[in-house]
């Protein structure tokens, strides 16, 4: 009897997604849980609520808190942290590439590297140059993967994935699904994984 | 060398405050940390953001999630749970009484009982009858305490406490302070208490 898989919905611009991207493969492997990577864009979802940007920008008090919290959370998980000078960062190309690689064995390493560039090194992530750098460092054919990521079919897939997120009630990131059970935020990653083991596929 | 105290800012209408009210005395005692109870009203703070009610009501997707999450959280902490038929409930009188009792030895038991009525038994809490019932069950002079709670001086104190909350950047509940370090949400209670021990008074 095997554990249920976990669906991991994340957005490269989201600082709490950063924590989960860095942690999920190790945490899941320890419990024998398979991770299904689901990159999506939060922007269209926030706009559907009438928000033009992240609530961490729109609500100043909450934003001020979040940057305090991230310092402590990154210390707790032993992760690099630099408050991004641009937030939320555009994440379109890296998200399209993540969709291409979602079922490839390089997806975890790719996502961790993109997140580290955004939240560890405070660099932009939505450029051909950076994505090429990341893919090449992983020994992958960057040009070919980026071409596929920028194809009309893949652009449409990312829009559809984001629409699916909205339809499933996703209102923030990271979000985890175990079957129909939804768990919000890096703080629920361990609970969600425990649920995978208790509610096997 | 003793641990720093924890300031516990909470609102009886807040479901995540319920979790912390039920847990904090035990969790703090295990670490030798003193709890400073800070009842306040979220309503005026939400209104200052332009919101007329809880974000769990204003954002339907988030609200739907929160009631799923509460079922699991209460199971995890072994707490009674009934989704309140009225949310957020008016909490004015119980909050005024909590302010009267904030430094008394009955504050923890009183707050747990009020919270249990709201979130365990799905009953209103902002009535003379219910508050009298709670105080009397604790062997306290209910009439006298309620009279003090309803005095102009104490009403003013609660307004001032809520203004202090806003000034300190509190945007939700529960909120914990250890010195100037702010921790938001029941999910941060253990981190905040650990911080009390690491950063002694």
Of residues B61, B171, B183, nearest to A169 (C-beta): B61
Give the neighbor-by-neighbor strand order of the sheet with B6-10: B35-39, B6-10, B175-178, B181-184
Query: Does residue A1 carry a pLDDT above 80?
Result: no
Rounded-to-integer distance, Cα A127 and Cα A160, Å: 22
- Taking an 8 Å cut-off on Cβ atoms, the answer to whether B191 and A59 are in contact is no
pLDDT digits (tens, 9 = 90+) for B135-185: 999 999 999 999 999 999 999 999 999 999 999 999 999 999 999 999 999
pLDDT of residue B1: 60
pLDDT of residue A200: 66
Query: Does residue B191 carry a pLDDT above 70?
Result: yes
Mean pLDDT of chain A: 96
Rounded-to-integer distance, Cα B201 and Cα B186, Å: 23
Q: Does B69 touch chain A (CB under 8 A)?
A: yes
How much of chain A, in percent, has pLDDT values that exceed 70? 99
Q: Is-contact A129 A105, C-beta < 8 A?
A: no
- Taking an 8 Å cut-off on Cβ atoms, the answer to whether B62 and A171 are in contact is yes
Catalytic residues of B: 14
pLDDT confidence tier of residue B97, bands split at 50, 70 and 90: very high
Kindly report the CATH number assigned to the domain that includes residue A11.
Answer: 3.40.30.10
Q: Mean pLDDT throughout B25-29?
A: 98
In a domain, B35, yes or no: yes
- Looking at chain A, which residue has its C-alpha nearest residue B50? A59
- Taking an 8 Å cut-off on Cβ atoms, the answer to whether A191 and B59 are in contact is no
Q: Is-contact A73 A19, C-beta < 8 A?
A: yes
Which residues constitute the domain of residue B71?
6-198
Of residues B62, B69, B182, nearest to A65 (C-beta): B182
Of residues A49, A171, A191, nearest to B72 (C-beta): A191
Distance in angstroms between the alpha carbons of the first and the last residue of chain B: 8
- Taking an 8 Å cut-off on Cβ atoms, the answer to whether A61 and B187 are in contact is no
In a domain, B1, yes or no: no
Contact residues, chain A, for B76 at CB < 8 Å: 191
| Separation of CA A155 from chain center | 17
Contact residues, chain A, for B185 at CB < 8 Å: 187
At A93, give phi and psi (nearest 5°). -65, -50
How much of chain B, in percent, has pLDDT values that exceed 90? 95
Rounded-to-integer distance, Cα A96 and Cα B184, Å: 33
Q: Does B170 touch chain A (CB under 8 A)?
A: yes
Q: Kindly report the number of other CB atoms within 10 A of residue A128's CB atom.
A: 12
Contact residues, chain A, for B172 at CB < 8 Å: 62
Q: What total number of domains does chain B contain?
A: 1
Q: Does A68 touch chain B (CB under 8 A)?
A: yes
In a domain, A193, yes or no: yes
- Taking an 8 Å cut-off on Cβ atoms, the answer to whether B191 and A76 are in contact is yes
- Taking an 8 Å cut-off on Cβ atoms, the answer to whether A64 and B172 are in contact is no
How near does any CA of chain B get to the CA of A62, in Å?
6
Query: Does residue B86 carry a pLDDT above 80?
Result: yes
- Looking at chain A, which residue has its C-alpha nearest residue B183? A69
What residue spans of chain B are helical by DSSP H?
15-30, 42-48, 55-58, 60-76, 92-101, 107-115, 128-137, 142-149, 152-167, 189-198
pLDDT digits (tens, 9 = 90+) for A133-184: 999 999 999 999 999 999 999 999 999 999 999 999 999 999 999 999 999 9
- Taking an 8 Å cut-off on Cβ atoms, the answer to whether B65 and A182 are in contact is yes
How much of chain A, in percent, has pLDDT values that exceed 90? 95
Per the document, the length of chain A is: 201
Longest dimension (CA), chain A: 48
Q: Choose, from A14, A17, A91, A116, the residue flagged as catalytic.
A: A14
pLDDT digits (tens, 9 = 90+) for A36-64: 999 999 999 999 999 999 999 999 999 99
In a domain, A1, yes or no: no
- Taking an 8 Å cut-off on Cβ atoms, the answer to whether B65 and A184 are in contact is yes
The tokens describing B72, both together, are 């699991």
Q: Is the pTM of this model over 0.90?
A: yes
Query: Does residue B200 carry a pLDDT above 90?
Result: no
Mean pLDDT of chain B: 96
User: From the candidates B44, B48, B69, B168, which should be mutated to test the interface with A, based on the most A CB atoms within 10 A?
Assistant: B69
User: From the candidates B16, B65, B180, B187, which should be mutated to test the interface with A, based on the most A CB atoms within 10 A?
Assistant: B65
What element of type H or E holds A200? none
pLDDT of residue A201: 62
């Amino acid at each position: 009897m095997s554990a249920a898989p976990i669906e991991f919905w994340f957005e490269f611009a989201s600082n709490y997604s950063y924590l989960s991207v860095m942690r999920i493969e190790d945490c899941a492997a320890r419990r024998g849980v398979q991770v299904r990577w689901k990159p999506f864009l939060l922007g269209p979802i926030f706009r559907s609520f009438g928000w033009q940007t992240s609530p961490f920008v729109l609500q100043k008090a909450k934003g001020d808190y979040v940057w305090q919290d991230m310092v402590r959370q990154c210390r707790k998980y032993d992760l690099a942290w630099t408050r991004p000078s641009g937030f939320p960062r555009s994440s379109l190309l890296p998200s399209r590439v993540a969709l291409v690689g979602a079922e490839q064995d390089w997806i975890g390493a790719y996502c961790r590297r993109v997140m580290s560039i955004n939240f560890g090194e405070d660099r932009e992530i939505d450029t051909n140059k950076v994505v090429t750098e990341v893919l090449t460092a992983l020994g992958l054919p960057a040009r070919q993967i980026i071409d596929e990521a920028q194809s009309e079919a893949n652009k449409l897939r990312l829009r559809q994935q984001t629409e699916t997120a909205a339809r499933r009630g996703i209102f923030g990131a990271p979000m985890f699904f175990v079957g129909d059970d939804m768990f919000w935020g890096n703080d629920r990653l361990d609970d969600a994984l425990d649920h995978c083991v208790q509610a096997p596929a």
